[in-house]
Structure 1
Amino acid sequence: MIADSKSPLQRRLIKAGIALLGAGIVVLLFIIGYVLLVLAPNLPSLDAITDYRPKIPLRVYTADNALIGEFGEEHRDFVAIKDVPQVMKDALLSIEDSRFYEHGGIDFRGATRALMTDILTAGYHQGASTITMQVARNFFLTKEKTKTRKLTEILLAYRIEAALSKDQILELYMNQIYLGQRTHGFSSAARIYFNKPLKDLTIAEAAMLAGVPQNPARHNPAVNPIRAKQRQQLVLKRMLDLGHITQAQYTQALDEKIQISSSQQFEAHADYVAELVRQNMYAQYKDDTYTRGFKVYTTIVKAEQDAAYDALRRNVMNYDQRHGYRGPEAFIELPKDEDDRDDAIDEALLKHPSNDMLVSAVVVEVSPKLIRAEPASGDTIEITGDGLRFAAKALQANANRDLKIRVGAIIRASQDGKGRWAISQLPEVDAAFVALNSQDGSYRAMVGGFDFNRKKFNHVTSAWRQPGSSIKPFIYSAALEKGFSPSTIINDVPMPLTSADTGGQPWDPKNDDGKFDGPITMRTALAQSKNVVSVRILRAITPQYAHSYLPRFGFDEAKQPTNLTLTLGTGSVTPVQMAGAYAVFANGGYQVTPWLIQKVTDARGTLVTETKAPAVAQEENRVIDGRNAYIVDTLLREVVRTGTGAAATQRLGRKDLAGKTGTTSDAVDGWFAGYAENIVAVAWMGYDDPKSLGGREFGATLAMPIWIDYMKQALSGKPETQRALPEGVSFMDGDWMYNEFSNGIGIKTLDMDVPPTDGATPPAAATPPAG
């Protein structure tokens, strides 16, 4: 018998080793059995990735492809892997899975190390997930950190590798991964963080995005720029080590200063347009609206939309400046501790966010000659000199406490082109602007209010307001059908009306300027917006006839009165309704229906719906005689040549402008409606809670400047147009009239107590008015 040469200790170690090996085998067999019998049969179907349908938001564009709106829980642009720039792929794989194209879905060295560490420590500490494993997790699993989930992830990774090519897997990952700021996929992240397409990323930017997936909260460039920079440096070092970039490129990328966009940037200010599209799409597609990747192309023109937005904002601010400073928006107490003070300022400004160029800030130092204030950016704004003039009274020692600017006051400031700051304020008044193609009714521009984020109510489509004198051209149009002509003489003298005349309360209509000019032509009466003359005309043709005449222009008959105040605009209209109505005069007598959406495509670019522009000047759409439209056009051109709208001609320097001002009683609403070339546009200003805009304010001072500023852009480079004279119109008695009324049966005078005075016909009537 051979003696055992092993010592007792060695024998114990061998037995322990055998026992440990046996235990390991048992554990391994248990794991294999668990995987085969429990996990494998219950793996989810791969349909979600083999038939990948990413949730892509609704996007809205102008007619010339400028992005103006996006709606959906996830910001995502699907980009095929062939269109992903190589630098983005290199950056991502360098930090996430450098052996992606070499392994079969599992990086055994990393995965084995991670799994053993988890088993030995009875916890979850290691990751070592490949791109394929991350795809499995993102599509099918929760973020719960357990060994069972890890095993399931590995099994799914094998199945994914068997079902898809490497490029397909990488394509899924790069379009699905969450990257902070509600962005999914690298293309969307490039647009949100850097405001540029994926193909234009620099090495430094690509490396910064590649660093985000590990921890989108910690490495988010917009929220944590310092940590994002640190992570970017690791990515760049890996790219250098793997030979994807040179030393020179590495050094340049490290030094590159990256500009992070704090919020999503659209290419034009058209929030009200985008919201109108969203409502329309949701009515048809419900929740699919936000996930199917619809692209909606509107009829809006970017340059004109920008001009409309700027014109409305600028002129609302001009009105607000004319009517004085109302004081700070609020006041806060500033703690003495610097950190506490910064927290208090940040909290206050969250409740008073900046509004485009109107920056909100908290005053930290103030004197009659200087204001220092801190905006949310943490910089310091200094306001001096002319920048203080608007709020001079609020800086006086004896200023009312609610008006006075003091430390802790929340104010607004704006900056001019030279970087100088000035006190400003958010206006209380609101406004609206809409422009249509007068031939086919398509929208060219729409601004539904001063600021969409503050007030989402669209005044263009939904604000029913009194039109004031802007309704008069339609009454004059009705009068032409009753034998009136622009040369008809009407007595502009007081006309007190009794209860018998009005059917109600006695009424003594007045002109806005309080003056009476005696006998004047109908042309002059409209140009000067004479109220009394308009009442006389309406009384002659009857309110009932005029009331039944208005619907042919698209006005809601139920919202118009059937009494003599109709001609002064006491009914209700919306700005877009008014634009459609003036389009009838602009296009020769045809009613148009405003429309906004040209076409809709899906995520693959397939056409879903398309709206063909309607044929123009179709007789079935004619609502007034072409002669009527022509004569009213000459009247509206007179308004902007010699009348209340003359500033339009002076500022734009064109002879083909036509339009009408409108001011309601007590200047509660201010309007200007007009057209030139094939553009009809309407501007309105007023308070949502109706009140006077001021005793010295009129449509010409409130709304017309918006119209002029827009038209300056819209008509730029376009030649003046002249209208052809229609058949059946004659030039007699110094003006145009229907042929059938030229034999003396037309109305020559109205309510004349004295014969016409010399000069009653304006000098311009000696020659045919411009048509």
Structure 2
Amino acid sequence: MPGWGRMWSAIRIAAGAVLGVIGAPIVAVSVVVAAFVYLPLPAALPPPNVTPASQVSTVYDAAGNEIGEFRPVGQNIPVRISDIPTVLKQAVVSSEDRNFYHEGGVSFGGTLRAAWADVTNGKTVQGGSTITQQYVKNAYTNGRRTLTRKLREAVLATQLSRSASKDQVMYDYLSTVYFGEGAYGAGAAAEEYFRIPVSQLDASQAALLVGLIPAPSDYDPLVSLAQGEQRRELVLGEMLAQHYLDQGQYQVAMAEAVTLPEGVKKGLPQTVVYPPQQQAPKYPYFFDYVRRYLLTKLGPDQLYKGGLRIQTTLDPALQADAQGRITSELAGTSPPLDMTLVSVEPATGYVKSLIGGRNFAASQVNIALGGCPQDLSSDPAAEVEVKATCWNGQTVAGGGGGLQAGSAFKPFTLAAALSEGILPSRVYSAPNVFQVPGCTGSKCTIHNAEGGGQGPVNVATATWLSINTVYAQIIRDAGVAKVAEMAKKLGITSAWYSPKYQGLTYTLGVVGVSPLDMASAYSTFANHGLRIGPSPIVRVVGPSGKAIIDNTHPHGTQVISKAIADNVTDILTGVIQHGTGYPNAVLKGRPAAGKTGTTEGFHDAWFVGYTPSLSTAVQMGFSDFEFKHALTGIKGVGQVFGGTIPAQVWHDYMSQALQGVPVTAFDQPPPLSVPPDVLALQQRHGINPGDQLMPAPTGSGGPYIYGPSAPNAPTPPAAATPGPVPASPAPSSTATTASTMPGSRAGTTTTTSLSPVFGH
């Protein structure tokens, strides 16, 4: 406001000029007096700068049911002037400004004493503020305490006392003053400390709150009950001295012991102080995912203070069923044994359910998102440190947090191999032990874990039986870097490759992955190579009703050709029909594709599978991420492979989730042929099936997977040799929009039914 700007300039110039010439402390004090005597006051105050009332962001599931809220830590709960109890106003006056109702808005004596003390000491050492001045400080002059600011406070307080009633000033003060624990204003403080409306405060509670005002962190009863109680007694003593309490009322209030909830004693007068309350969301793991996702998209201020309405992709029925099955499966066991389940809708990328462990409240770790608490800091060094914790102690820039996937990683090798011209019918030898070329030592042999030694087998059969030694040869021929690139394209965000750390064992799932990424990557196969990244959000709407995020029509990118994706799916159906997923993962009367995974030493076991309409990852392992545990003797299962407990949980969950969803067949894949350039290269070098197509990357050592051999699975029927056809088209990167309508794409049925929570 122009009038105020000219006034502050005049004060600063006068103070600076006089002090510069004379340099005497008394001159500074004279400037204070001059500000009141000679400077005219503008007609109106500038707008106050106060902490706004918190605008809670509300979260809904896909059907429109409220499932949680995001609240700011520092909150201001608005109250009416009539809600402020007399006893609270009396406590404030007794402690902070006993002349509040009898004098103006400025204590001239106190201000002059404070100014004198400040200038003689060369720094701010004394307050000397009335309630009106304190409010002005909070509302108008926040910042560094300087002599100029004291002058501004005094002038503004004088104007405020002329234009507002005492009750209005008291109300404004009690609506903005900070009480600690993130509570601005008496309304928030009463709720935060006592869980009651401000209108219900008694003398003891009011005195305790007022005692916090000079130094909330120093007198916080949650930090020190003794300090809080001592401050309360001082305020009660002032109230008695100022005749706001009689002797009987004073004794009743003093008799109340300040205590925490766990220290409550029945039958005794007490003032109970509650610790900060956090409203537990209905679905904590999914809610944590939403929080992380939106923090990266919107930032903390908009999320916690923006008054948003957030419609998520969560299907409450699927989430409840998933939680029930995980809880049931873990019943009778103890941490760190844990289990996760994530479901993604292929045609939209919508995350329909997400369970990241047995108890989020106890661990605060969401294994479904990668295993470690995620640091949202933009500091690259901090990010590497977080990843190092997730990556078994290795500090690997660009490395990923999460869990080893074992053979559940093989479909990414399969997709890369098919893209490089390695046909499903190509035959490899299948020894029980494979020596890594160019490597010597005990860690240079790869053993079969889920599939035993076989004679010559083709790529499809090796996938069904999960034969490690064959897949070591496949990745050798396709190229480790190509497999890493394929995994990244399909949705494994943590996928990375370095010859220093990875060799042929890359195909055995040594890179840390998250269950969310696994469910999402497999959904790309189900969606014919069209990649739609996972999201927990349908729509985010601001207070004005305008959409801030609109994901009602998700967009995708064709990362691999439909022919490659459908051939991967065709091979993975064999895993369930007559491979390592049989019989536990068989969905009665419904086509499904999937892959088992078991890591070295039985630390983790996986089953990841999908139908045209739903992709689900189930993982069982240990939440401390140490390799000293083994999945043995769990629920009567001697050794937990991916085809045992995880496959059974996947089957039970998917059977329930797909009830009422029409059965849809996968698209019949076209036969593949070797691309002409690859075929020419093979012919030029005289390469036969099973020979390597390029020099084998040796790396500089493991970790290599060696596990016990499982009993041989029944020998499946030989795969038919496809006839020669033109090469499949190269993968494209065109953005498309995935429809959410059932039957919109051959071989695809979506299950999402969105409630119009915020309109259209």
Normalised TM-score (structure 1): 0.53
Say whether 1:93 aligns with 2:89.
Answer: yes
- Match in the other structure for 1:440: 348
Shift of residue 144, structure 1, vs aligned partner: 13
| Secondary structure of 2:550's aligned partner | coil
Structure 2 vs 1, CA of residues 618 and 760 (structure 1 numbering), >3 Å: closer, same or farther? Answer: same
- The change in CA–CA distance for 1:33 and 1:692 in structure 2 (over 3 A counts) is closer
What SS does the corresponding residue of 1:183 show, helix, strand or coil? coil
Find the partner of 1:760 among 715, 720, 723. 715
Specify whether residues 567 and 260 from structure 1 end up closer, same or farther in structure 2 by C-alpha distance, changes over 3 A only: same
When residues 209 and 480 of structure 1 are mapped into structure 2, their CA distance, relative to the original with a 3 A threshold, is: same
Q: How many residues of Structure 1 are paired with residues of Structure 2 in the alignment?
A: 575
2:515 matches 1:581:
no
- Aligned with 1:472: secondary structure? helix
Report the alpha carbon displacement of residue 582 of structure 1 after superposing the two structures with TM: 1.5
- In structure 2, the residue matched to 1:530 is 467
Which residue of structure 2 aligns with residue 181 of structure 1? 181
CA contact 1:177–1:185 (8 Å) conserved in 2: yes
Matched, 1:660 2:595: yes
Q: Which has the larger radius of gyration?
A: 1
Deviations 1:203-230 (A, max 9, x none): 7997465665476467644245577679
Cα pair distance change 1:690/1:174, threshold 3 Å? same
Q: Give the C-alpha shift of residue 611 in structure 1.
A: 1.8
Please state whether the residue corresponding to 1:661 is helix, strand or coil.
Answer: strand
Q: Which residue of 1 aligns with 2:51?
A: 54
Q: Is the 8 A contact 1:433 1:575 kept in 2?
A: yes
Contact 1:599 1:611 in 2 (8 A): yes
Q: Find the partner of 2:278 among 262, 265, 269.
A: 265
Q: How does 1:197-596 map to 2 (within 5 A)?
A: 207=206, 209=209, 212-213=212-213, 216=216, 220-225=220-225, 260-268=273-281, 269=284, 274=291, 277-278=294-295, 281=298, 297=310, 299=312, 304=319, 436-442=344-350, 445=354, 447=366, 448-449=370-371, 459=390, 462-463=400-401, 467-477=405-415, 493-494=430-431, 502=437, 509-512=446-449, 515-516=452-453, 526=463, 528-535=465-472, 550=487, 552-555=489-492, 559=497, 565-570=505-510, 576-595=516-535
- TM-superposed CA distance for 1:78, in Å, is 3.5
**1:50 partner SS:** coil
User: Is the CA contact 1:520–1:761 (under 8 Å) kept in the aligned structure 2?
Assistant: no
Contact 2:465 2:575 (C-alpha < 8 Å) held by counterparts: no
Per the alignment, residue 108 of structure 1 pairs with: 102
Structure 1 residue 291: Cα displacement:
10
Is 1:494–1:509's contact at 8 Å kept on the other side of the alignment? no
Say if 1:584 and 1:629, in contact at 8 Å, map to a contact too.
no
- Structure 1 partner of 2:731: none
Provide the residue aligned with 1:17 in structure 2.
none
Asked if 1:624 is matched to 2:559, the reply is: no
Letter aligned with residue 760 of structure 1 = T
Is the deviation greater in 564-573 or in 682-691? Answer: 682-691
**Residues 535 and 564, structure 1, Cα contact 8 Å, conserved in 2:** yes
Q: Partner of 2:573 in structure 1?
A: 634
Answer yes or no: is the 8 Å Cα contact 1:553–1:584 preserved in 2. yes
Partner of 1:610: helix, strand, or coil? strand
Change (3 A) 1:106 1:300: farther
**TM superposition shift of 1:635:** 4.1
Provide the C-alpha distance between the structure 2 equivalents of 1:47 and 1:671, rounded to a whole number of angstroms: 69
| Amino acid across the alignment from 1:107 | Y
Note the C-alpha offset of 1:592.
1.5
What are the equivalent positions in structure 2 for 1:639-650 lying under 5 Å apart?
Answer: 643=580
**Structure 1 unmatched runs, 5+:** 1-29, 323-429, 730-736, 742-749, 752-756
The one-letter code matched in structure 2 to 1:50 is P
**Alignment partner of 2:181: what SS?**
coil
Q: Which amino acid aligns with 1:159?
A: Q
Q: Which consecutive residues of structure 2, in runs of 5 or more, have no partner in the other structure?
A: 1-26, 118-125, 257-267, 357-365, 376-381, 392-398, 674-688, 691-711, 721-747, 750-760
- Tell me the equivalent position of 1:398: none
Considering only aligned residues, what root-mean-square deviation do their CA atoms show, in Å?
6.9
Q: Aligned partners of 2:315, 2:199: CA distance in 1, in Å?
A: 23
Q: 1:58 touches 1:289 (CA, 8 Å); kept in 2?
A: no
Asked if the contact 2:50/2:139 (under 8 Å) is kept, the reply is no
Is the Cα–Cα contact under 8 Å of residues 307 and 710 in structure 1 kept in the other structure? no
In structure 1, distance between residues paired with 2:508 and 2:145? 73
1:135 equivalent to 2:135? Answer yes
State the identity %: 21
| Cα distance change on mapping 1:715 and 1:133 into 2, 3 Å | farther
Q: Which amino acid aligns with 2:597?
A: G
Show the 5 A alignment for 1:728-767. Answer: 729=668, 738=670, 760-761=715-716
Q: Is the 8 A contact 2:572 2:593 kept in 1?
A: yes
CA contact (8 A) 1:442 1:596 kept: yes
* CA apart distance, 1:532: 3.6
Contact 1:180 1:217 in 2 (8 A): yes
Q: Relative contact order: is structure 1 or structure 2 higher (C-alpha 8 Å, sep ≥ 6)?
A: 2
After superposition, the Cα gap between the structure-2 partners of 1:51 and 1:497, relative to the gap in structure 1 and judged at 3 Å, is same
C-alpha displacement at 1:474, in angstroms?
Answer: 3.2
Give yes or no for contact 1:436–1:579 (8 Å, CA) kept in 2.
Answer: yes
Q: CA deviation at 1:265?
A: 2.1
Q: Which residue of 1 aligns with 2:678?
A: none
